[in-house]
Amino acid sequence: MKTLFKRILWGVAIVIALIIIFVVGFFLKMKSEVKDMNVSETKEIIANIYTIKDSFVNLYLVKDSNNYVAFDAGNDVNVVSAQLNKLAINPDNVVAILLTHTDRDHVAALSIFKNAKVYFAKEEMQMLRGEKHKFIFMTNKISTKEYTLLDDQQTITIGNVKVKGYLMPGHTSGSMCYLVNDKYLFTGDALSLKNGKIAPMNKFFNMDNDLSIKSIANITKIDSVAYIFTAHHGFTNDYKSAVKDWGK
């Protein structure tokens, strides 16, 4: 009996040790991947388009008269609030938030935008319902039950801001890029930028890396685009050069 009890204890100890090793290894790998990211500082990039730096991620705001349309909602409530304050932007004036996906670093500050309607791709519900997971021990959540689900290539108008969504599955099941006023493309984590060229997002963070790479072709032939804004790798004002060699 004592021998059996000791074996059980050893078995439990080994399982716990393996879990600790896995968790520590996971977070060390994530920290290493984050170091390769290159986000933009909080500022007005061009007239009426702003970027907010929240640690290793950017969210963006498009100004329309006295209101704003946001693309994603950041990683930390306090940081986002402080960065908005730097630009004298009142979060109550944000009337809409279009989520590129629902990973925590893109939704954590939703609660400060009290007057904003929330939009995201209907396929992203698979992440919120727990039907699909990026990492087995992580589940996506958002702080609101009020939202509008979008179809692939659906166009909506918010004030004077026209937004067309392009479904980009792979990073998550419902990752979506948004084309604003036919000129500005907000990509979230659907892709990265390296030396002015589009590139895949870090493989470590993709739910389905092959599908993520395949999806990039969905936004490489939009002739009217000038700017690409990413969540973790800055932006470019030369869309044509950025996408020119993709797929070759």
Q: Do 202 and 98 lie in a common domain? A: yes
Tell me, yes or no, whether 64 and 83 share the same domain. Answer: yes
More confident residue, 21 or 52: 52
Q: Chain-wide mean pLDDT for the chain?
A: 89
Residues 88 and 158 reside in one and the same domain: yes
Structural domain total, the chain: 2
In a domain, 195, yes or no: yes
Range of the domain at 63: 40-243
Q: Residue 64 is encoded by which pair of tokens?
A: 């329309």
The answer to whether residues 104 and 155 belong to one domain is yes
Is 248 within a domain? no
Q: pLDDT digit string (tens) for 71-104?
A: 999 999 999 999 999 999 999 999 999 999 999 9
CA 141 to chain centre: 13
CA distance 71 to 3: 60
Same domain, 81 and 9: no
For 171-215, write each residue's pLDDT tens digit.
999 999 999 999 999 999 999 999 999 999 988 889 999 999 999
Residue 89 lies in a domain: yes
Query: Does 142 fall in a domain?
Result: yes
pLDDT for residue 6: 66
- The beta strand positions in the chain, using DSSP E, are 43-46, 49-54, 57-64, 67-71, 94-98, 117-121, 148-150, 155-158, 161-167, 176-180, 184-188, 192-194, 197-199, 227-230, 235-236
Residues 25 and 51 in one domain: no
Q: Does 53 lie in the same domain as 26?
A: no
25 and 111, same structural domain?
A: no
Are residues 15 and 88 located together in one domain of the fold?
no
